[in-house]
Amino acid sequence: MTPSPQRPLAARSAAALCATLAAAAGAALAQDERSAWNASPEPDALYGHCQAASSMGSKLDTLPYVGEGIADVLAIKVLRCAPFTFGSGFAKVGCPAGSVYAYCLRAPNDGRGNDVTLGVLKAGARTLADAPYDGCPAGSPVQSKLVLLRQAGRDPRTVDAIEALSCAAATLPDPAPAAPVDCPPHGPFTYCVGTPNDGLGNAVVLGVVRTNSTGDPAGLYGECDQQIRPGFASKASVLALVGRSAADVARIEMLSCAVPWGYGPGFPAELHAGACVGNPWVGQVQAPRFDYCVWGTDARNAGIVMGVNGR
C-alpha cells in the first residue's frame, strides 16, 4: 500500500505556528477594537460590547433618557463598562470626585447587555481654548491657554477645548516650557500639557479635548496666512455671526482660509451664509455635499469658506 503523502514535520509545525499566531492576532485585534471604542471620548463614537453577549450603541442617543440634549457636548467618556446587572434604563448619577463633567449617567442594563456609566463634558466658559487659564492664586498674571499648548508642540487647529485642571504657585524658580504630562484618571481629555513655571509664577496643568475630525464644529481655525491677524476661533462660533444656530450642526468643513484678496475681485468684506451649489466662492466639486455654506471675511481679516451639514 502506498503511504499517503505528508508534509515534512518542520513544515507542518511552521504552518501550525502561523495559524496559532494568526488566531491570537485576530483575537488581540478584536479586543483592541473594543477597547478603542470605549476609550474614545468622541461623542459620536459607539460604546458597549462590555461582554461577549452584548452589543454596542450610540452615546449621544443615551442623553435624552436623562432629559439632556446634544447641544454643546464636547466629549462623552465611558467611565465603566461591565456585563449588565439588575434593573434597566439610564439615570443621572454622581461623577468621580474632582472630575470636570457637567453630569454623569448610568444604566445597569442599557437594553444591549451592558452596565455602563458615562461622563459628559459640555462647552462653557472654562473650556474655551483661546481664553486665559483660570484658578490661579489671587493676583497672579495669566495668559492664553494656547500659549502653553503651542509650547508643547501642539497645533491649535486640532483642538476643540482646553480646560485648566490646576493652577498653583510655581514649583520651580525658572520658567519652563509646557510639555505633555499625565492626565488625571477618569477624565475626558485626549491629552494634557503642563509646566512647573509658566514664566508668570504659576504651575499649570491643562486638559485638552482634541478635534474628532476635520469636520468637527468645535474645532478651531485661524492664522492661515502670515497677513491675517493672530488668533483662533471655533468654526461653530462663526454661525451666530450669519444668523445661524449651531445647535443641530453635525459637521463644519473649512473649505478655504486665505487673505481676502487672494480670492479675486468681489470677495465680500463681511460674512454671508447661503447655498453652496452655484456659489462662485465654493468649489463646485464639493458643493453638493453641504446643506449650506458660509463665506466672507472674518474679524481677523481671514477670508473663509465653510461647508455646513446638520444632523
Which pLDDT value is given to residue 50?
84
Q: Which of 175, 210, 245 is the last residue of a domain?
A: 210
> Cα(65)–Cα(86) distance, rounded to whole angstroms?
18
The total of structural domains in the chain comes to 3
Looking at the fold, whether 113 and 143 belong to one and the same domain comes out as no
Share above pLDDT 70 across residues of the chain, in percent, rounded to a whole number: 88
Question: What are the cell numbers at 236?
Answer: 461653530
H/E element, 81? strand 73-83
Q: Please name the residue ranges forming H helices in 130-176.
A: 145-151
- pLDDT higher than threshold 50 for residue 46: yes
Looking at the fold, whether 117 and 135 belong to one and the same domain comes out as no
Query: Is 51 part of a structural domain of the chain?
Result: yes
Looking at the fold, whether 176 and 204 belong to one and the same domain comes out as yes
Query: Is 182 part of a structural domain of the chain?
Result: yes
Categorize the per-residue pLDDT at 10 as very low, low, confident or very high, splitting at 50, 70 and 90: very low
Looking at the fold, whether 197 and 251 belong to one and the same domain comes out as no
Looking at the fold, whether 198 and 263 belong to one and the same domain comes out as no
How far from 133 is each of 13, 34, 128, 150, 207, CA to CA, in Å?
61, 35, 9, 14, 11
Which pLDDT value is given to residue 88?
82
Looking at the fold, whether 248 and 261 belong to one and the same domain comes out as yes
Question: What are the cell numbers at 34?
Answer: 473594543
Looking at the fold, whether 101 and 77 belong to one and the same domain comes out as yes
- In the block, which residue shows the cell 485642571? 165
Query: Is 30 part of a structural domain of the chain?
Result: no
Query: Is 117 part of a structural domain of the chain?
Result: yes
- Taking the model in full, what pTM does it have? 0.74
Nearest in space to 241 (alpha carbons), one of 170, 160, 308: 308
Query: Is 215 part of a structural domain of the chain?
Result: no
Neighbours of 67 (CB within 10 A): 8
Categorize the per-residue pLDDT at 214 as very low, low, confident or very high, splitting at 50, 70 and 90: confident
Looking at the fold, whether 186 and 256 belong to one and the same domain comes out as no
> Cα(54)–Cα(51) distance, rounded to whole angstroms?
6
Distance of CA 77 to the CA centre of its chain: 11
Taking residues 46-67, what's their average pLDDT? 89
Q: Which of 82, 106, 122 is the last residue of a domain?
A: 122
Which pLDDT value is given to residue 8?
47
> Cα(256)–Cα(159) distance, rounded to whole angstroms?
18
3-state secondary structure of 118: strand
3-state secondary structure of 141: coil
- pLDDT higher than threshold 80 for residue 36: no
Nearest in space to 160 (alpha carbons), one of 68, 233, 240, 100: 233
Neighbours of 184 (CB within 10 A): 15
- pLDDT higher than threshold 50 for residue 6: no
Poorest-confidence range of 10-19, 79-88, 254-263, 275-284? 10-19
Looking at the fold, whether 132 and 172 belong to one and the same domain comes out as yes
> Cα(219)–Cα(209) distance, rounded to whole angstroms?
10
Tell me the per-residue pLDDT of 84-132, one tens digit each, with 9 for 90 and over: 988 889 999 999 998 999 999 999 999 889 999 999 999 999 999 999 9
Looking at the fold, whether 67 and 92 belong to one and the same domain comes out as yes
Which pLDDT value is given to residue 186?
86
Task: Find the domain containing 193 and state its range.
Answer: 125-210
Query: Is 193 part of a structural domain of the chain?
Result: yes
DSSP 8-state class, residue 154: -
Residue with the bigger pLDDT between 165 and 42: it is 165
Query: Is 234 part of a structural domain of the chain?
Result: yes
Looking at the fold, whether 254 and 202 belong to one and the same domain comes out as no
> Cα(309)–Cα(311) distance, rounded to whole angstroms?
7
Nearest in space to 170 (alpha carbons), one of 205, 203, 206: 203
Q: Which of 172, 190, 210 is the last residue of a domain?
A: 210
Query: Is 246 part of a structural domain of the chain?
Result: yes
Looking at the fold, whether 170 and 240 belong to one and the same domain comes out as no
Nearest in space to 39 (alpha carbons), one of 73, 74, 81: 81
Residue with the bigger pLDDT between 132 and 1: it is 132
